[in-house]
Structure 1
Amino acid sequence: MILLRTLLLGILLVFLLPAGLSVLFWELGEHPGSWREADWSSAAIVPAATAEDTAAVYVLAARTGGLKGALSEHSWIVLKPRGAARYERFDKVGWGSPIRRNGYAADGRWYSNTPRVVARLEGEAAERAIPKVRAAIESYPFATRGGYRIFPGPNSNSFVAHVLRAVPDLGAVLPPAAVGRDFPVDGRLVTLDAEARELRASLFGYAGLAIGARSGLELQFLGLVAGIDPFRGLLKVPGFGSLSVFG
């Protein structure tokens, strides 16, 4: 009984309390009432495609809309082959075709929220990675119509996390607030990634953990992530995401 109470108290303090505060702060802010009122225009955070002749790969993420935005982000992938005149953007969405190509500006705001770059490759490294990224997109097992579930996944973040794991050259993991990133799209509940030096375990996205060079130490519960990344000086707080406190 004492162990159960301690566990419940830990869940309350580590996961539910921060998440509740994040919802409160979100509600105090101003947000568009619907997707029609939201700003989806370019945030101008990546170079114009014609400005550089080099190849590029970006992974971007931004807070999503409605109350979900208090706890979750949406992520997507952007490619530009060498010499291309425009970017290609790939999103997994819950409406229409699940993997949408060029549905929005490469660095477009998501429900008026400005995105940020999660991963970036340029030049020769991007040229080598682009075929691998395309292959990972093509191999995503939930790419057909109907292959989307907002929680625990597979969703938009499950798709991008799949690509990041398939292409370790990108050298990144999705932010803690990317709910759905830990859904095991390959069906494996425990994964040891020797190349990325990561051990991951997930109970179908409802609970899990990750430990390694890219994630630090993470505990996951109902899509919320708490943890510490001593390599980058980050504290991971449910709802709030990664906070820089050590560097």
Structure 2
Amino acid sequence: MLALLLAGPLWMLATESVEGRGHWSTADRASAGLAPPPDKGSGAVVQLYAARAWGWRGAFGVHTWIATREAGADAWRMHHVLSWRRPALESRSTPTPDRAWFGSEPMLLADYRGEAAARLIPGIEAAVAAYPAPATYRAWPGPNSNTFTAWVVREVEGLEATLPVTAVGKDYLFDGVLAAAPGGLGVTASLGGLLGLTLGRDEGLELNLLGLALGVDPLRPALKLPGIGRLGMASAIKGEGKVAGTADPETKGNR
């Protein structure tokens, strides 16, 4: 079983499918063109992103973050948990929330715009402020950046996002063993992020073993494998402001 769980991450490392060459400070941080500029519309926007983590961690999973822009604003607010130097929940202003994550192209998970986004932003800000582990980061099994994103999604009514199977830590629950699936209609059962099961409309069936997940999505047919990610149809982008043809860091080069 351990060999099965580690086969995907080892394959990602062996095929050099993750960014880790050179120094992280010189890695690509260019915009992917997924975030609408202010001159393309002054309405509110909420977007969720995922991109492969830097270095060896990228062989196992992705880093996720939440970006919001108030109606009429020029800058975005980017919310995520980092492990650079010290664990920290960071909420900062940025003109480019869709920048590559140190060489890894981001994938859009959700895109809410207009009135729908305006209704979500106050709830997101309140959830970010109430996050129960703002100074804690454990890459495995959590809490980490993916735990944070999943927690906020569960806390904010109307906010949904189908997090990748490679979002290690998304199944870490702070209290209890049951929680709503981030994708909407569904449930996650988890014991400390090490053993769990998710059954959801958009997640399909996912089994979490030792913090790594595998599963199947019958609605948008695909296999989900540890490290490698999704093989098959791309998952749906939640919200109404969908951007067609976005790259999926889970399946790029693996379909």
CA shift, 1:50, in A, is 3.6
1:27-176 correspondence runs (5 A): 31-95=20-84, 96=86, 98-102=88-92, 105-143=96-134, 145=135, 147-176=136-165
Q: Which runs of 5+ in 2 are unaligned?
A: 236-255
Greater gyration radius: 1
The answer as to whether partners of 1:152 and 1:180 remain within 8 angstroms in 2 is yes
Alignment counterpart, residue 195 of structure 2, candidates 204, 207, 221: 207
Structure with greater helix share of residues: 1
Does 2:215 align with 1:227?
yes
CA RMSD of aligned residues (A): 2.3
TM-score where L is the length of structure 1: 0.85
Give the match for residue 253 of structure 2: none
The 2-side partners of 1:97 and 1:30 are apart by: 22
CA shift, 1:246, in A, is 9.6
Which amino acid is 2:230 matched to?
Answer: S
Give the match for residue 240 of structure 2: none
CA shift, 1:150, in A, is 1.6
The 2-side partners of 1:103 and 1:87 are apart by: 5
The answer as to whether partners of 1:217 and 1:228 remain within 8 angstroms in 2 is yes
Give the match for residue 249 of structure 2: none
CA shift, 1:103, in A, is 6.8
Which amino acid is 2:61 matched to?
Answer: S
Does 2:16 align with 1:26?
yes
**Following TM superposition, where does structure 1 have runs of at least 4 consecutive aligned residues deviating by more than 6 angstroms?**
none
The 2-side partners of 1:17 and 1:174 are apart by: 21
CA shift, 1:222, in A, is 2.4
The 2-side partners of 1:90 and 1:246 are apart by: 25
SS of the residue 2:116 aligns to: helix
SS of the residue 2:128 aligns to: helix
Which amino acid is 1:41 matched to?
Answer: A
CA shift, 1:39, in A, is 1.9
When residues 192 and 127 of structure 1 are mapped into structure 2, their CA distance, relative to the original with a 3 A threshold, is: closer
| Identity rate, percent | 36
TM-score where L is the length of structure 2: 0.82
Which amino acid is 2:90 matched to?
Answer: R
CA shift, 1:18, in A, is 2.9
The 2-side partners of 1:100 and 1:228 are apart by: 33
The 1-side partners of 2:192 and 2:68 are apart by: 30
The 1-side partners of 2:198 and 2:66 are apart by: 23
CA shift, 1:99, in A, is 1.5
Aligned residues: 232
The answer as to whether partners of 1:72 and 1:179 remain within 8 angstroms in 2 is yes
